[in-house]
Copies of this chain bind each other. A is one copy, B any other.
Amino acid sequence: MANICRLDSRDPGFKATLSQLLKVDAEQDDAIEAACARILREIKAEGDTALVRLTNQFDRMNISRATELEIDRHEWLAALNSLPRLQRLALEAAAERVRSYHQHQRQNSWSYTEADGTRLGQQITPLDRVGLYVPGGKAAYPSSVLMNAIPAKVAGVDEIIMVTPTPDGIRNPIVLAAAAIAGVDRAFAVGGAQAVGALAYGTDTIPAVDKIVGPGNAYVAAAKRRVFGTVGIDMIAGPSEILIICDGKTPADWIAMDLFSQAEHDELAQAILLCDDRAYLDAVEAAIDRLLPTMPRADIIRTSLANRGALVLVKDLQEACDLSNLIAPEHLEVSVADPDALLPLIRHAGAIFMGSYSSEALGDYCAGPNHVLPTSRTARFSSPLGVYDFQKRSSLIQVSSQGAKTLGAIAGTLADGEGLHAHAASARFRLKKVFE
C-alpha cells in the first residue's frame, strides 16, 4: 500500500499543510563547503599535480600524469558503435529532435538607426568554451549529455569539454556514445570539485572554460557556487518535481504512472496531483496501490510519495491553476481535455505538458524541449536551459555627430546632477565636431 497524503483545498489548514509539504531544506553543509574550498585552492595553486592526486584519491585510480585523464575520441566512437542498435537509434532520434527544437531559440544580433544617424543594437555571440559535468555511477544519464551539450552546439559554442568521474577507472560507454552524438569536443575522466576547479581555472591539461553546466552531487554543486563569477554556471538544481492538474478524464493508470516517473528519481522528489473530482482521486489512489508493487524502484517511489506526494481535491480548475502558480513547479502536466483554455492562467512553470498524451517522460527524453528545468519555485524567475544560456549580448552604440549633440546635452545635465564631472565633460566634448 502506498501512503500518499490526501488534501482538500477547502480545509482550513490546507495552505499551511501545502507549504509544509513544499518546503525543501536548502541548508549548505559546512563540511562539504570546507572540503570544496580546500580542493579548489589546491587545483588553483597546483593545477595538474593536484588534479592527479585528488583523482587518484577520490576515484581510486592510479595514474601518474594528468594527460592520462583524457578519454580518447576513438574510445567514444567504439562506445557508439558497440551500442545495441535500438538504443543507438533512440539516442540519435532524441538528439535530432532536441537539436531541431533548440534551433528555434537561436537569437540574432539586431540594430536600428535613428533619424540622426545614431545606430543602436545588440551583438549576440556564442560563448567560446563550455564545460559539461556528467555524474558518474548510478546517475550517469546519457539523456543529460544530450540536453546540456546540444543547446551549446546550436548556440555556436566552439568547444565543449566534458568531465565525468570514473571511479576505479570504469568508464560508462553510453555516456561516451551520447557525447559523440551530441558533438562534445573533448572528454576527461575526472569528477567532483576537482573537475569543477580544473574547468574554472584551467590546468596544463584541462583548458579553462567560460561556463560550467550539468548536474552533480553536493560537492559539485558547492564547487560550482564557489567558482561562479570566474565562470558562468547553470542553475543549482533542487529535488525534481511534478505537478499534475487533471480534469479526471485521463486514464487513472496514466496519471499514477506519471506520478511514479517523478517519484522514482529519488526519495526527495515531489509528485502532486490536483483534481476537482474526488472519485477520480480515489481511482488514482487505487491505481497507485495496484501499480506500485510492479515497479523495480518501488521503495524509492513509496518513500517519495509518502513524504512529499499529495492528491489534492480542488474546487475547480481555476483554483488548480492558482495553486500551480504558487508552487511554480518544474514540470506541470495539464492533463485536461482542453489545455489551451487553462494555458493563459499558468504564469510559472519550467515545462508545461499539455493534454493527456503529453507525459513528462516524453519531455525528459525526446519531445525536443530541454529537460534541465528550474526547480524549487525558481520557475518564478528562471527558465529551462536553452540556447540563450550559451549566447551573450554586447550592446552596440554608434552615435552620429548630430546624435552626439542631442545626447551630450542630456548626459551632461544628468552627470552634473550625479556629481560626475568627467562624465559631463566627456559628453560635452562631443558637442563640437572633431578637429573643429
Interface residues of A (CB under 8 A from B): 26, 86-87, 89-91, 93-94, 101, 104-105, 110, 112, 118-123, 125, 127-128, 138, 141-143, 174, 210-211, 229, 231-232, 236, 250-251, 253-254, 257-258, 260-261, 263-265, 295-297, 301, 332, 339, 343, 346-370, 373-374, 376, 378-384, 386, 388, 392-401, 403-404, 407-411, 413-415, 417-427, 429-430, 434-435
Contact = CB atoms under 8 A, between A and B. Distances in A.
A18 B430 CA distance: 30
A397 B367 contact: yes
B354 A422 contact: no
18 contacts: A118-B367, A125-B348, A141-B418, A143-B418, A257-B422, A260-B426, A295-B422, A297-B420, A346-B394, A352-B394, A353-B399, A354-B398, A357-B400, A358-B404, A365-B423, A383-B393, A384-B393, A388-B388
A410 B123 contact: no
A10 B386 CA distance: 41
A420 B365 CA distance: 11
Nearest to A381: B232
Contacts of A363: 395, 397
Contacts of A374: 392
Given A261-B423, A361-B427, A413 B251 contact: no
A368 B264 contact: no
Nearest to A235: B229
Contacts of A353: 397-399
A401 B361 CA distance: 15
A301 B125 CA distance: 33
Contact of A399 (B229, B257, B358, B403): B358
Nearest to A111: B104
Contact of A94 (B174, B376, B414): B414
A210 B265 CA distance: 28
A413 B91 CA distance: 9
A287 to B, nearest CB: 11
A146 B209 CA distance: 34
Contacts of A347: 125, 128
Q: Which of A347, A397, A407, A435 has the most CB of B within 10 A?
A: A397
A326 to B, nearest CB: 11
Contact of A414 (B101, B120, B142): B142
A61 to B, nearest CB: 25
B232 A378 contact: yes
Give the one of A91, A232, A253, A347 with max B CB within 10 A: A347
